Chain A
Amino acid sequence: MALLLEQLLNSLQFAMMLFLMAAGLTLVFGIMNLINLAHGSLYMVGAYVCASVFATTGSFAVGVLAGLAASLAVGVGIEVTTFRTLYKRDHLDQVLATFALTLIFNDLVRLIWGPTALYAAVPAFLTGRVEILPGTPYPAYRLAIIAVGFAVAALLYLVITRTKLGMIIRAGASNRVMAGALGVNIVLLYTIVFAMGALLAGLAGLMAGPLFTVASGMGDSVLILAFVVIVIGGVGSMQGAFIAALLVGFVDTMGRAYLRLLLGQFLAPTAADNAGPALASMMIYIVMAMVLFFRPQGLFPARVR
Chain B
Amino acid sequence: MIRRGRHWLSQTISRQQTAGALSESIKSDGAAGVGGPARRVFMFAGLAALALVPPIALMLQQPFYLDLFTRIMIFAIAALSLDLILGFGGMVSFGHAAYLGIGAYAVGIAGYYGITDGFAHFGIAVLVSALTALLIGLVSLRTSGVFFIMITLAFGQMIYFLGLSVNKFGGDDGMTIAEHSRFAGVDLFADPAGLYYFTFCALVLFLWIGFRLVRSRFGMVIRGAKSNERRMGAIGFPTFRYKLCAFVASGAMCGFAGALLANQALFVSPALVHWTRSGEILVMVILGGVGTLFGPILGAVLYLVLEDVLSGVMDYWQLVLGLILLTFVLFVRTGIVGIADWQRRGVRHA
Contacts and interface: CB of A to CB of B under 8 A. Distances in A.
B241 to A, nearest CB: 17
A231 to B, nearest CB: 5
B325 A292 contact: no
Contact of A296 (B142, B162, B317, B323): B142
A282 B98 CA distance: 14
B41 interface: no
Contacts of A99: 276, 279, 282-283, 325
A91 B146 contact: yes
B329 A96 contact: yes
Nearest to B87: A92
Contacts of A85: 330
A108 B274 CA distance: 21
Interface string A260-291: 00000000000000100110111001101100
Contacts of B157: 221, 224, 285
A35 B275 CA distance: 15
- What does DSSP make chain B's interface, helix, strand, loop or mixed? helix
Contact of B151 (A90, A92, A93, A231): A231
A125 interface: no
Interface in B265-314: 275-276, 279, 282-283, 286, 290
Interface stretch (B52-60, B163-171, B244-252): B163-171
A104 B324 CA distance: 10
B115 interface: no
A301 B213 CA distance: 37
Contact of B149 (A33, A95, A280): A95
A282 B139 contact: no
A100 interface: yes
A92 B149 CA distance: 9
Nearest to B144: A296
Nearest to A93: B329
Interface residues of B, number: 46
A11 interface: no
A97 interface: yes
Given A101-B326, A111-B319, A282 B161 contact: yes
Given A95-B282, A280-B165, A282-B162, A103 B325 contact: yes
A228 interface: yes
A292 B135 CA distance: 13
Contacts of A82: 326, 330
Interface in B101-152: 139-140, 142-143, 145-147, 149-151
B161 A29 contact: no
A300 interface: no
A293 B323 contact: no
A224 B333 contact: no
A100 B165 contact: no
A106 interface: yes
A29 B145 CA distance: 12
B139 A289 contact: yes
Contacts of B162: 278, 281-282
A199 interface: no
Contacts of A289: 139, 155
B321 interface: yes
Given A111-B319, A274-B168, A97 B329 contact: yes
Given A110-B316, A220-B275, A296-B147, A100 B158 contact: no
B153 interface: yes
Contacts of A111: 316, 319
Interface string A116-153: 00000000000000000000000000000000000000
Contacts of A274: 166-168
B190 interface: no
Nearest to A289: B139
Nearest to B279: A99
B153 A227 contact: yes
A285 to B, nearest CB: 4
**7 tightest A-B CB contacts, nearest first:** A103-B322, A285-B158, A104-B322, A100-B325, A107-B319, A281-B161, A100-B326
Given A91-B92, A228-B154, 15 more contacts: A33-B146, A91-B145, A92-B92, A95-B149, A97-B329, A101-B326, A102-B322, A103-B322, A104-B322, A106-B318, A107-B316, A107-B318, A235-B146, A281-B162, A286-B158
Interface of B: 86, 92, 94, 139-140, 142-143, 145-147, 149-151, 153-155, 157-158, 161-162, 164-168, 275-276, 279, 282-283, 286, 290, 316-319, 321-323, 325-326, 328-330, 333, 349
22 contacts: A35-B149, A82-B330, A86-B329, A92-B290, A95-B94, A95-B149, A97-B330, A99-B279, A99-B325, A100-B326, A103-B322, A104-B326, A106-B318, A108-B319, A220-B275, A224-B154, A231-B154, A278-B166, A280-B165, A281-B161, A281-B165, A288-B154
